Structures are given as structure tokens and as C-alpha cells.
Amino acid sequence: TQLQVLAEELKQQAQIRDAILATTPDHFSVVDEDGRFLFISSNVSGDIKVDPVSAMGKTWRELGIPEEIGIQGDKDREKALRTGQSVTRELELAGPNGPVYLEYVISPVKEENGETPYVVVTARDITERKKAAEAMYHTQKMESLGILAGGIAHDFNNLLVAMLAQTSLALAKLGPSAPAAPHIQKAIGAAESATALTQQLLAYSGRGQFNTIPTNLNTLIQENSHLIHVTLTKNVKLQLALTADLPAIDADTGQMQQIIMNLIINAAEAIGKQYGTITVTTQPINLTQTKIEDWPDMGQQLTAGPYVKLTIEDDGIGMDEQTIKRIFDPFFTTKFTGRGLGLAAVLALCAATKALCG
């Protein structure tokens, strides 16, 4: 009878233990000095499928655990047993939807006789935590650069206003036939180009001037089609696929024009000297709150409802994964003559006009 009571107590304790292990996000296992599992919890991290019962006495190779985990795990287990100290490791693994980050702690367990025959491994999937940390870092970096860019652009713009005023006055006094007139005209052109650059910096920093009015995106694109064609080389074809009866959006027409031009210029540069096509598409869409939350955080408070989608596609060379991660970073460019402000300004303008960009 006493044995039955003890057996029942052990069974209850085992059930409580299994319930605790099943509800914690961590994965636990016990591994001996030969690398064989003595215990393994059911909630194995990631896409690893291991049966806790059949895993007893087997190594990671026999269980089909990925080598990038197993080999490094063996090294850290041996170190923990040798030094008597816990070893913490963070691993980046290839997942079906991008990298997966795994963190584990291997702790040696010392018995009363002083021997350390096994270790306890605690592992956790920290992918979401890593993504949140990277997003926070990126937001802080963008904010700092925005403040810096806005301050420089504001002061520089004041200097350009004075330069343009003085050179325009000098040109008016000299007259167009004066020998120095062409040189002054070039100086005015250079100052105007610099003014356009400061406007991009101000747009990126969020300190640009906005006049939001109901705007038909199709009309805006069609009215600027001539200007768009002028910016494209002969080897690039522009194709418009504009949905009829497109609803109006609340936008600043000047800033919206800048978004369209920057995206088209970027697409044209991606095509390069080969023959290619840029397709501009507009269509009404309905965004749910779930879809809005799936987009990267741009510091906006958007609500679910009807929106207009603008898509600019090109059949150029494309980008690798590392470049895609940085395309909206200010001053990042893959072009020798680029300034790296075009897409950064697009992102800032989208954030200012309550739009999503990606």
C-alpha cells in the first residue's frame, strides 16, 4: 500500500513537471558526458521534431538534429563539463521564412561525490526578440539621422537662398550678353540643384512643408508623364496600368510627385543600359488591421479601411538580401554617383502622409 501511495505521488509529480515544461517557452534536455540524451522535453525549439520517449539514450546525430546545432552543442557541452561553468550561446539558423535565432544555456550538474556526469540544456527561440531589438535599433538610428539631416538641411537651405538671391541679382544687373552671364547662370543652376537636395533631406527628416488635399493618383501620374519620360533613357519603356475610377487620397501633390519620381528613377537605374520596362500600377485595396500590423513599424497610427496601392516594377537586375535590408537607409547607395537619399526620402514621405512603403 505504501508503495502504491509513493507511486501515485511520483506520478502526480511527473504530471506537474510535464505540465510546467509544456507551458514554458523554453526547451529542456539532459545530456550525459557521451552526448546521449537522458531527458528531453516535448516542446523542442523551431522545426526540430523529436519524440521525447524514443530520444532516450540517443545522440543528436541519431535524432537528426541539424549539424549547426549539434556540433556547436558538443563543443559547449565539453567546455561546461571541463570548466564546471555554464556556457551560453546564440545561434542563427536558416528557416523557411528567414533566419531563426536560438539561444541556449548549458549548465553542468555536480553530484555529491564531486563528479559532473551530465549537463542540463535550456534553449529558447529568440527570433521575435531579435527582430524587435533590430527594429528598435533601426528606428533609433533613423530618428538620430533625421534630426542631423534636418538641422544641416535647414541651415544649408538658408545659405542657398542668399546665394540664389545674390547671383540672380548679379545676372539681372549684368544682362544676358555679359561675358560672365553664362558662368553666373551655371552657378544659379548648381544652387537650384543643391536646393532640391536639401528638400530631400528635409523630407527625410520630416521637416518639409505639407499641404494635404484630396488627390487623384491617376491624374497626378498622367499630368507628370511627360516629365517622367524626360528623365528616362531611350532603352527604358514606361508602361502605365492605372485602374479607372480610382478613389482620391489625402496627399500633398508635390510630395507625392517626389515619391513617384524617386521610385521611377530608382527603377530606371536598376535597369541600367539594357532594354527594360517600368510598369506603374494603381489599384484600390482594402487593408485589414492584421495586414497593417504585418508591415514594418513606421511610427504611424493607421486604421483599417480603403486605401490606394501604387506599385512601380522594373525588370532590372534586382537586389540581394543584404541590399534589400538597407535600401531605405539614408546615404546608403550601390551607385558610384548616388547620394543614397532617394528611397530614404520616399520612406519618410510615406510616413508623413500616412502611407505604407515596402
Domain contains 234: yes
The answer on 184 and 245 residing in a single domain is no
Q: What is the pTM of this model?
A: 0.48
Helix 181-205 / helix 342-352 crossing angle, nearest 10 deg? 50
Is the confidence at residue 318, as pLDDT, over 60? Answer: yes
The answer on 322 and 258 residing in a single domain is yes
Task: List the domain range (segments joined by +) for residue 181.
Answer: 133-205
When pLDDT is cut at 50, 70 and 90, the band that residue 345 belongs to is: low
Distances 273 to 94, 270, 293 between C-alpha atoms, Å: 36, 9, 39
The answer on 219 and 91 residing in a single domain is no
The answer on 348 and 217 residing in a single domain is yes
- DSSP codes joined into one string, 123-147: EEE-HHHHHHHHHHHHHHHHHHHHH
What is the number of H-type helices and E-type strands within the chain? 11, 10
Q: What is the 3-class SS of 247-282, one letter each residue?
A: CCEEECHHHHHHHHHHHHHHHHHHHCCCCEEEEEEE
The better pLDDT of the pair 59, 42 is held by 59
Q: What share of the chain is helix, strand, coil (3-state, %, to 5)?
A: 50, 20, 30
The answer to whether 235 and 276 have CB atoms below 8 angstroms apart is: yes
Distances 63 to 158, 222, 250 between C-alpha atoms, Å: 68, 62, 58
Model pLDDT for residues 220-279, shown as the tens digit of each residue: 899 888 878 878 888 999 999 999 999 998 887 877 887 888 888 888 888 888 899 999
Least confident span in 3-17, 109-123, 153-167: 3-17
The answer to whether 122 and 25 have CB atoms below 8 angstroms apart is: no
Instruction: Using DSSP, state whether 234 is helix, strand or coil.
Output: coil
Q: Which of 147, 181, 205 is the last residue of a domain?
A: 205
Domain contains 346: yes
Is the confidence at residue 8, as pLDDT, over 80? Answer: no
Domain contains 358: no
Q: Give the pLDDT confidence score for residue 46 in this predicted structure.
A: 47
Across 61-66, average pLDDT: 88
Least confident span in 13-17, 77-81, 212-216, 293-297: 293-297
The answer on 348 and 237 residing in a single domain is yes
The Cα 182–Cα 188 span in angstroms is 10
Domain contains 218: yes
Question: The domain that contains 253 carries what CATH number?
Answer: 3.30.565.10
Domain contains 357: no
The answer on 108 and 20 residing in a single domain is yes
The Cα 138–Cα 135 span in angstroms is 5
Amino acid (one-letter) located at 23: T
The Cα 205–Cα 145 span in angstroms is 8
The Cα 324–Cα 270 span in angstroms is 13
Model pLDDT for residues 142-191, shown as the tens digit of each residue: 666 666 666 777 777 778 888 888 888 888 888 888 889 888 888 888 88
Cβ-count burial of 255 within 10 angstroms (0-12 exposed, 13-18 middle, 19+ buried)? buried
Question: The domain that contains 51 carries what CATH number?
Answer: 3.30.450.20
Q: Which of 205, 234, 266 is the last residue of a domain?
A: 205
HSE, side-chain direction, 13 A CA sphere, residue 347:
21
Q: Which of 205, 236, 251 is the last residue of a domain?
A: 205
Cβ-count burial of 3 within 10 angstroms (0-12 exposed, 13-18 middle, 19+ buried)? exposed
The most confident of the ranges 71-85, 111-125, 169-183, 280-294 is 71-85
The Cα 338–Cα 18 span in angstroms is 59
Q: Please state the domain count of the chain.
A: 3
When pLDDT is cut at 50, 70 and 90, the band that residue 45 belongs to is: very low
